[in-house]
Every structure is written in C-alpha cells, then in structure tokens.
Structure 1
C-alpha cells in the first residue's frame, strides 16, 4: 500500500471513531479526546510486544536504582516504558473497572510519557464524561481492531507523523479553527528541504559528527521529520539532533511523542513562547526550517521582545516589525540561531518584502540581513497552497556563508505558476506543488542563472537613500544661484537678508512644500537631484540631516510583464457584436411577451 493510501486509511478510521462521541461532546471537543487517545494507542502498540519482558524486569528490579535502566533495556532499547499489566486490549477484559484501570495504566508510563500526556489537559475531565455516557468502552474497543494497529511495523514513523497532522487539520477545520497554524502541506516542506540540501556541500557528515536541525515554531514536528527523512536517504549514518519549540500544548505533546517513538531525544522539543522565552537562546544550528504564523500580533510578548531588542546579544537588535505581525521576529530568530556555515528556509507572506519606510523596523531588519549578505534567495510560491490562506507566500533562503558565485548577490525565483489544481479543495488549499515543479524550482536555484523565472541582483539593488527635498517659504525670496546647495552649507548670497525681519543663516523651509525622493544606492545623490528635481524645482535643496537608507524587495515588479491593450478597432468590433446580440435578445424577449 502506498504512503498516501496508508495515511488516508488510518486517518479515516480514527476520524470515524469520533462519531462515537456524538451527543456526549460538542464537535469542537472531539480532537481533545481523539488526539490523546491516538497518542496513547501509538505508545501502546509500540510497547505491547515487549510487555512480558518489561513486567519481569519491573518485578525483579522494583525499588532498586537499576529499575529505569532495566525497564528501558527490556523494551529493546526504547527510552520509554509502561509497567502496568494492562494494554488497550486487556483493559476491555474488565469493563466495570475501566476508568480506574485506564488511569492506572496511563500513570504506569515512564515519566517522559506522563509529561507528554499531562499536556492534553482537557482529556482527563473528558474521560469521566465518556464513562458517564457509556461510550468509553466503545471508543477504546475501536482502537483495538486490527485496522487500528499503530505498531511501527504496520504504520511507519513517517506515516504516523502524517496521520497526526491530518487529524489535527481535520479537527481544526471541522470547527473553523486555524488548521494552517499547525499544518504546513507536505509538498511545501519537501520543497524547502530540497532547497536546503540542493548544494553539494550540504551533505551531512558520517560517524560521530552530528547535524542539528531547528524549527522555532515546530507544531507537530512535520518539518523536522521530513528533513530527517531526507538526510537519512542521503546518508543513513548521519547523526542528527532535532530541536524545536512549540507554544500550543497539544501539538507540542504530539511532536514530543513522535520524537520519543522514533528514538530521538524528545527533550530537545521545548514547550513555550519562542518570542518571549527562547528556550534555545545562544545556540546555533546547521539547518533551520519554519513556517511561523502570519499576521499574529505580538502585543503579549511586547515587553520581553523590546527588552531583548535593547541587548546587543539579542535576536531583535536590528529592528522591530509592526506590533500586528510577528513573522519578521521569527525571521530574525532564524538569523540569530544559524551557524556561520548554516542554511535556513523560512516561509513569509508578502509584507516582509516591502513594508516599512526607510529607517523603520522592517526596513532595518531587511538592511541587517542584506548588508550582512545573509539572504541567498527568495522563491514566490503559488497562491492557494495553504489550508488557512490564499495569499501570496514566499520561501526566504538564508545562508551566512554563501558559495563564492553567490556572494553579494540575491536570487529571486518566481514559481507562482508551478502548480497543479486539486481535484477537491481543502479549506483554502486549491493547488498543489507536484514533484516535477519541486524539481524545476530546485534546478532554477542551483543553476543560478537569469531566465524568465529567475532574476539575480546585487544586494545594493534593493537599497535606496530617502532624501528630504526642501523649498523656501517664500519662493520669490530664494536665490536661484544657490538653489541646489546643501541646507547646512548655504552660500553667503543666499544668507543675506532680502526681506524685513529675516535674519542671516539657513534658508527657511516651508514644511508644506517639503517632499522626499528615494535615490537608488547605486546612484550619486547629487547627480540624481540635479537630474530629477532641479529642472522642476530650481529653488529646492536637500536637507542631508534627514537622509535615511532603506531596503525593500519589490518582488512582483521584477517579474511584471507588460500586456499591451487590445487595439481600439478590435474592441470596437467586439462591442458592435455584443450590441447586435443584445438587440437580438431584446427583440426575442419582447416578441415572446406579445
């Protein structure tokens, strides 16, 4: 059975179990019951074959310092265990004591699993409701059928990750929650991972060397899992450390459970707010992938973020974005946590490309990234590929040590038309990025050549100096001979009093006539001023004290293709034909009325 078929079958089966909750729970509560039960069933399926050995080890080493090590060894080397004589199947043998037995069974998990289960806070009150409504036995029984066997021999770790994410997406969509907050389409993750490892020097090392991967908004761990799978396909002996931080308790718990079962270090997945409580502060990573939330305000984190921005060793010293959108804070988090030889891929919507005037927080963030030559490429993705938004989205590729040919340069790739329509929409997701499109995008990136879909720029091409143009309060009093002089270096002729009451000194500017110009960094400001301003305002001058450098990336402008209007004669013929058809329709209508 194919990967997609297995995931669909298991997800459909578990989704159908939620039907047993009808009447006892409201639809928005279904996920609070089914997700933790699925996690527990996964642990149960993994541990069931070694249950006799674990019980024997528990009996032999109980109350000794060797107990934990002996129990782990009895599982065949897993980092978790359960010392209860019950399994999901054996729980059903005693229906009368199902609730206390189930609680005892959950309490018998190793401490690392119990900490995960504690994150499913609503589940434990729901357990009592299920018993009261006489549905607990029915629900658990559904999980013990052969189709619900979640042992890794039947459902791989990769498939289980897909199933968890599919369930979260379905439960979120069922009651109009933001599914996309926790779920990134797999083809998007695969594209990001392929781009990160597109260069020959990106292959992880063998042996004792470890490759570190980090996601500051990791959700259920989908990006980490796909990156892990990709690396192990390239090098099965590569040592990996997967790290992430997640705010939502339930998705954090799913991610930690997935890591435990795969044999990864679950403690490297942290629970908490990345913006206000960076649990990996000061650490750097080889690879970073993330799809942080779009348009999420950071008002609650304002004090902590501003305090960190004031520190030279903080993530946010370059600048702060609008309080209404935190995604550029995650962009700076990726930059701060990237090793000098590392690579990052982070999804952003269109606003980080251009919002904010020169000197503003967003412009200063772009300036820091561009002037330090951290931005490698930006890829425009097709619209309608995410579940919760149809807006334009982009992958930012960051690299602190670019290959020689790419240094000082930035590649923009327009992949907006590389998609295929879905047969059936899922929320806002109407399009998919097929494997052939992923291959084409990666080819464009590695070719690093100009084409209709690929443009290459020097870093300075995105910069400009915003200059302030002043004009005198009384144009008639201005001295044309000194109109282009700097306000701080006005010639003596212009300083001479020409009107009663005016004192010598700087020319007096009229704020109502003030204007600004954005001068490309590559241009000489005085030459630009002489060419673009003085012919139209000979009395103007530049107030250099107000000049500011800004950066923006007008992505769509670079790929705009002019479509000439249709000839007037052609339009006239078309309009005439429409008029004739309309007249015929009206004549037929009135003829029918008569």
Structure 2
C-alpha cells in the first residue's frame, strides 16, 4: 500500500472526528473515541466472514449448557478472539432510538471475548458511550466507520467485475494507520508526536541488521522476539515478517513468538489488538502492561532477538522508587557480577532511564544456544558518553564491551524520527559474534545516507529507501574499513581515570594581628587554655611567618609539654584554620607517619622526634583538594599509567602522586573523533579575487552616498 492510500484512510478517519465530535468533545479528547472505534471496526471487519458460523456454534453451546464457550467460538471464528453477540457494527446503524442503540451497542461490546474486553478497558471506551448517546452522535460515528470508503478489513473491496476498488489492510498497514492517527492527535494536543512509535523505514533497517548477519544460521525451530518498549507493536510485526521472509529464502520452516511490554494504555491496547488479529492464539498473552523497568513482564524468559526504541531523556525516578531507591536496588538486571565485583551497578541517572532498557535485554540473552541472542536498540547520543568512570551508564558500556558483546553502532541521519531532530544511534549487541569480529567494534557513519521526504512528518524530513537500507546493511555485513566504516579494538574506547593528588603546603602567620584574632577564636571555641601555648611559640619565633607547618607543630608540642597543656587534634586544627595559609613555597604538611610493618595509630607519631628514618617510616602528606586533578589515560596507551604519569604529570608537578584507590576504568565512544571531516580552507588567491571583485562592485559608491 502506498503513502497516498495511507493518507486517504487516515484523512477519512480524521474527518469523522471533525464531522461528528466537534461540538461534543474538545479536540484533545477526539482520540478517546476515534482510536478505540478504529480498533473495534478493525476487529469487526476481521470477524465478519465467520459471524454466522459463530452464532450457530453459540446457539449449539447454549443448548448444551456449556459454560466456557470462548475457545470453541474463537476456533470457529478462525481467530484468537471472537464476538458472540448477535450484532455486527453494520447491524447497529439502523437503530433509530438512542436507548435501543445504546443497549444493543453495549451488548455488542459485551459479546467480545475477554482478551478484547481488556483492550476496551485500557481505552476506557465505555466511559464515552453515555456522552455520545446524550449528544445523539453514536449512530453517526458507527455509520461513518462502516462506510465503504473506509476499508479496515484485511480483504480488499471489489467491484462487480472482481477488480480491486480499495485494497485490504494487512497488519503492517493497519499499524501505520494507527500510528499516523496517534501522531496527528498528539500534534493537535502539542504533545510529543512520535513518543510511542518508530518510523517504519527505521524499523525495517533495524530488522535487516538484526537478522541478515545470521540469516544462514536460521534453523527449523521456534524463535522468540521481544520488544520491551513496544508502543503499537510495529517493531514486533515487521521483525516477524522479515524473519519469516529470510527463513523462507533459506528453505526453513520456523515458528515465531512475539513478546512485548508497554506502559501507555492506548498503545498497549493497539498492540494487543494487532497481535490478536495476527491470528496466533498464543500471541495475545505475550504483551505485558506496565513499566518494563519496575515491573518486568517476563522475568524468567530469554529471547533470541530483541529490538526496541526506548524513551530517552525521560525520568525514571518513579521506577527507581518502586525498585527501592537508587542505593537499595537489588534487581539482578541492573546489578550484575563483572570483573570480580559481585555488585557491579548499571544504574544511570534518574533523569534518563534509556540505558536500563538495554540492561534489561542483556539479562534476557540466551547463552546456551548456537545463535545466542541479538539486540538492536535505538538510543540518542548521550548513551555513548554520559556517566563518569564507575557510574551506571559508563559501567553498562564497560560491561558490554569487556564481554565482547558490542558488534556495531550505526549513526543515523538527523530528523529521522517524528518527535525529535537530534542525532540517534542504533546499537547492535550480540553474545555470539562471528569469529572475524571478536575483540572488535564497528562504527558506521550513516548520517548522510538518507532520502528527503516531499513533506515533513513532524520532525521527520527524510527516510531510508530500500536501496539505502541495503547499503547500510552491506556495510555492516562486509566489515571493512572505509570512509563510512571504522573498525576498532574493544580497548580503543576504554580508559583509566586516575586521581592525581598534590600535597597541602602551609605557612603559619604569627604576626600580632593574626594572634589577636586567633585569641578571640579560642575564646569563642572555649579553648582559652591553648592561647598561652601559641603566644609562647610566637615569642620564641619572633612573630614571623614560618613556611614549615610541621616544624610549628613540633614546637607547639614542646611548649604544650612544658606548660602541661594538652595538644589535641582540635587545637591543631584551630592553628591550621586560623593561623595557616596556603603557600606554594612552603614545605609539605605531614598527615601521618607510619612505622614500616606496624601502623602507629597516633596521627602525631614522629612529629616530635628529632629525625625521621626513611627506612623505618612512611610519610603520608595532607592533600590539597584545590589542586586535585583527574586524568583519562587510554587503555591502549603504550607504557600505560606509569609512563603517562611520568611524562605528563611529574614533568610539571614533581610532588604529585596517584591515589590508586580511586582509579576507575571507563568507556566512551566518540563518533566525532573518528569521523570528523575538517572544513577545507579556501586558497588565498580565491579570497583575494573575491575582495577585488567587491572593490570593483562598490567603486564610487561612497562618493554617490556623500554626494547625495
């Protein structure tokens, strides 16, 4: 079906809202009627051919006093749903009296099987019946939907000669219409136009790169496909079609089971309806309602293929609280064992939960099959670099790359999606890399591979044609270095984040002005007994500035002993905070001195000894947090941390050291770094020629202005 036919059907459905609902509902509420009625008419169209047979079966079951009739009626209907009421929508259009229409319409809705009842419940459609009856518009709405101009049936409308007047709608086409309606309604309400779905051309590309690399490994077997943010189910439907197509091309007979989860009730209802119409009875039980993050609908399942376009830039604070709060999350999807750490956290910032959908899929990979699992997921650019080393987003990248699961990342053109023009990326993750891909990651720049649309759809102004999708897929399959494809060792993206410390250097100012203020502070802190000790020190040192804080402490210790005054840590801090000042020319301040082999607990140990024997003691210096710095050292840097520190740090700060307890490993991926194309500068001769041309063009202009 072409875009013109799609648009024609969408416009006809949209016109129902304008014709029937305008004076009854505000525009923002049109969707409360139109979306569920579209679903109902679709279901009604599918059931029409078997309606008489279903009624005959129901009559027989009633006579036999069979209570549980649903399975038998669905079997006769040839679908995983049925309607056992005596009506179709066409039967209801002739009801002249509103109360009779209301009664019959409710009976018609009640006749649907329980799986359809859940769909109607999520739409909250029954709440609209009284409003439409009171406004006398229910009959008009029904009549519009059963108009021969709007064919929502899988079968085409034929003329008397058997020619197709209006083509039928397969599930793919019906999904497009659902999504276009949602987009139009959301635009009317100034909401995110594409919040719940992904453009079909992007989904088709995702399906291609999911299945094509393993097409020759598909066997006569069942396969499970999963989307943890399934929206209207379009990604599952297209993935299913593509997988069956490839299996057929390789003469394989497969069975697929589609699983999804969706938090939005409207789109959840549409997905359920879509999979019901698909005709496989088991499918309707495989869509879970609720948040994937805090209420996983399939906690014990593992899947062969997983595709998603999760929401990005969206807070998951509510989910975090449901999981117990960030510090208390124990969900094994997000707290894993890695590199000797049994509680390696993959938990990102509360403001953006997109990476958790990827972590959720990692937990559902199959590890005991030849094919393993393949994950294809869309993210925005922040997933490539946000999060410092040791933080959730960074840990997730590290977890994937160090397990050698990241096959490729594909940069998409801007303005590919309905609701955003920002840069987006497709992650391709698998735990069964081909032998020639092991230990490597392929980055593909597809930002210029696009075809412009004649008319924008929201933010979307370009698309992937069949040829472009093949071009991108071929780049992935060929695994070669070129202008659009770069291949790197896994460690290329990793780095050590080291913390570089510098010692605190203090000089002590013992001038009279400082001592007077110090005495006031001691009085306020109820440490007046310490004032004579400091004054005695000042007299001995002749009220000067001393650039060796350690020496000052030793002298204070001597005087305190002579005056029988305790030299407590609090009193030393008073000296440090009130009399000392940072001085880059001063000596380093000692924090502790340890005996080798035995740590002396007294922090002042050794400060009152005449000499320090370096062979028996280790000196720990106070840190100057203002001079603290961090460095990112590439994992692949020759010589590693030691050489970098020697060349890049000690050369400029000979007293620096690395706090090894704070060293972290991080990973980030920069497409700009690897695909940056500098702007070609113009030749001087070209610039000079332009200047001369301007001079000729403006010659005499100033005289004309002044003269005028």
Instruction: Specify if TM > 0.5.
Output: yes
Q: 2:394, 2:667 within 8 Å by CA — same for their partners in 1?
A: yes
Alignment of 1:254-269 (within 5 A): 254-264=270-280, 265-269=283-287
CA distance in 2, matches of 1:298, 1:370: 25
Computing the radius of gyration from Cα coordinates, the structure with the larger value is 2
CA distance in 2, matches of 1:278, 1:50: 37
Alignment of 1:4-15 (within 5 A): 4-15=3-14
**Mean Cα deviation higher: 531-540 or 307-316:** 307-316
Alignment of 1:416-565 (within 5 A): 416-474=447-505, 476=585, 505-523=619-637, 524-565=640-681
Report what 1:483 is aligned to.
none
Q: Give 3-state SS (helix, strand or coil) of 1:438's partner.
A: helix
Report what 2:339 is aligned to.
none
- Measure how far apart 1:155 and its partner are: 1.7
CA distance in 1, matches of 2:199, 2:462: 11
Report what 1:230 is aligned to.
242
CA distance in 2, matches of 1:298, 1:501: 59
CA distance in 2, matches of 1:316, 1:576: 68
Q: 2:414, 2:423 within 8 Å by CA — same for their partners in 1?
A: yes
- Measure how far apart 1:316 and its partner are: 4.3
Q: Give 3-state SS (helix, strand or coil) of 2:191's partner.
A: coil
- Matching residue within 289, 292, 297 for 1:279: 297
- Matching residue within 100, 104, 112 for 1:109: 112
- Measure how far apart 1:567 and its partner are: 4.5
CA distance in 2, matches of 1:246, 1:380: 26
- Measure how far apart 1:505 and its partner are: 1.1
Q: 5+ unaligned residues in a row in structure 2: which ranges?
A: 156-167, 337-344, 506-583, 589-595, 598-604
- Matching residue within 163, 178, 202 for 1:164: 178
Q: 1:471, 1:510 within 8 Å by CA — same for their partners in 2?
A: yes
Please state if 1:210 is matched with 2:210.
no
Q: 5+ unaligned residues in a row in structure 1: which ranges?
A: 480-487, 490-494
- Measure how far apart 1:472 and its partner are: 3.0
CA distance in 1, matches of 2:37, 2:215: 43
CA distance in 1, matches of 2:704, 2:323: 70
Q: Output one character per residue of 1:210-245: Cα deviation in whole Å (capped at 9) or x when no partner.
A: 110000000000100000111121235320000000
Please state if 1:400 is matched with 2:431.
yes
Alignment of 1:312-391 (within 5 A): 313-317=332-336, 318-340=345-367, 341-391=372-422
CA distance in 2, matches of 1:226, 1:589: 68
Report what 1:142 is aligned to.
144
- Measure how far apart 1:348 and its partner are: 0.4
Please state if 1:303 is matched with 2:417.
no
- Measure how far apart 1:288 and its partner are: 0.4
Report what 1:46 is aligned to.
46
Alignment of 1:73-152 (within 5 A): 73-75=75-77, 77-96=78-97, 97-121=100-124, 123-152=125-154
CA distance in 1, matches of 2:695, 2:105: 77
Q: Output one character per residue of 1:335-362: Cα deviation in whole Å (capped at 9) or x when no partner.
A: 1122220101000000010111111221
Q: Give 3-state SS (helix, strand or coil) of 1:146's partner.
A: coil
Q: 1:477, 1:498 within 8 Å by CA — same for their partners in 2?
A: no
- Measure how far apart 1:574 and its partner are: 3.5
- Measure how far apart 1:580 and its partner are: 6.0
Q: 2:453, 2:463 within 8 Å by CA — same for their partners in 1?
A: yes
Q: 2:231, 2:264 within 8 Å by CA — same for their partners in 1?
A: yes
Q: Say what the alpha-carbon RMSD is for the aligned residues.
A: 2.7
Distance 1:534 1:570, change over 3 A: farther
- Measure how far apart 1:510 and its partner are: 2.4
Give the total of aligned pairs.
574
